[in-house]
Amino acid sequence: MKFGIFDHVDKGASDLHGFYEDRLKIAEKYDEVGFYAYHVAEHHATTLGMASSPNVYLSAIAQRTQKLRFGPLVYCLPQYHPVRLYEEICMLDNMSRGRLEIGLGKGISNIESSYFGINSNDVTAIYREIFDILAEAWNAKELTYEGKHFTINKLPLEMKPMQAPHPPLWMGVAKPNLLSWPAKHKINIISNNVVSVVREITDDYRSKWMEFGREPDAIPYMGMTRFVVIASTNECALRIGRRAYSVWYQSFMKLWNRYGETPPLASYTDDFDDLMLSGLAIVGKPEVVKKLVDEQIDQSGVNYFSSRFLFGDISYSEAIYAIDAFSEMFFPR
């Protein structure tokens, strides 16, 4: 079992310079206490994501940490040119001495893709072409590729990632019965869904993994993410969670509300108490949180648990309290 962090890097109440500096200091804390990896979302034109260039943000994380692994969850592939993305991945993996984790996806928001001039009907095809280009590039000295959206002719590949042939890959999974492809390619998976659905996902992934004749102990990470709020009392944790989630939810819905659309595959409501009842938020004093996390890990079948300690207007001191309490419970020194 490994423990990681997921962060939308959504904007709270502070100015942007102070916001980034707090995030970097908290990344140092993740590194210090022993979290495995720090995963960040990519969003554009919305307060939901202030790491709109994940590689710029993560290059700072690389310099402020020593052991913490990190990466985008996910790179929204259609919004990149594959040559630049490949080279930046190589740079970042080498700059961090091989600590990069790569999440790959299409991007959940067609609204954001439209700002890049991408037709929603082309998103899947562009995603597949870029994935194929990256897959070929890892093992080549020169790359030639001809597709509908990208043509690359005899590109010299002067850089390689430090991790051979490439950094570990991740993808988000919303439901079961879609696991053959990630199992075939040995991709780590993560879900935001409720425990019962996550259990179906992990059971299906284990089944597909075995169908490829692989050892059970070699299975990639199968994770889930949860909002986690820890304070000295249950009442205090609930107050913090309700307050901060209200701010986060406004950011989450900002573009969808602007265009009168509903986010796909999203199980979030505007009521934090509903989120707690569904198990998507784990809130309370340390011993309460420990019990709930242990129960969800056991029920879901995951081998990776990712906390969201920072969301909305969670303050630096509130986050540090929660991180320290969590680390003392799950990986004490």
Q: What is the DSSP string of 8-26?
A: -----SS-HHHHHHHHHHH
What would the pLDDT profile of 252-305 be if each residue is shown by its tens digit?
A: 999 999 999 988 867 788 999 999 999 999 999 999 999 999 999 999 999 999
The first and second tokens of residue 284, run together, are 């309370």
* pLDDT score of 99: 98
- Please give the pLDDT value at position 333: 72
Contact criterion met (CB below 8 Å) for 62 and 96? yes
Which residues are CB-neighbours of 240 under 8 A, at least 6 positions away?
229, 231, 314, 318
Which residue type occupies 53? S
Rounded-to-integer distance, Cα 8 and Cα 14, Å: 16
243-271 burial code (b ≥16 CB/10 A, e <16): ebbebbbebbbebbeeeeeeeeeeebeee
Other Cβ atoms closer than 10 A to 212 = 10
| C-alpha gyration radius of the chain | 20
pLDDT at 295: 98
Closest CA to 4 of 333, 332, 330: 330
Task: Return the amino acid letter for 133.
Answer: I
Low-confidence ranges of the chain (pLDDT < 70): 265
Q: Is the peptide bond before 74 cis (omega within 30 degrees of 0)?
A: yes
Alpha helices in 34-172 (DSSP H): 54-64, 82-95, 110-114, 123-137
Q: Could you give the CA distance from residue 90 to residue 160 in angstroms, rounded to a whole number? A: 5
Residues 34, 324 contacting (CB under 8 angstroms): no
As given in the structure block, the two tokens for residue 280 are 């998507």
pLDDT at 175: 86
Q: How far apart are CA 16 and CA 225, in angstroms?
A: 26
| Closest to 150 in 3D by CA, of 77, 89, 92, 91 | 77
Chain centroid, CA 68 distance in Å: 14
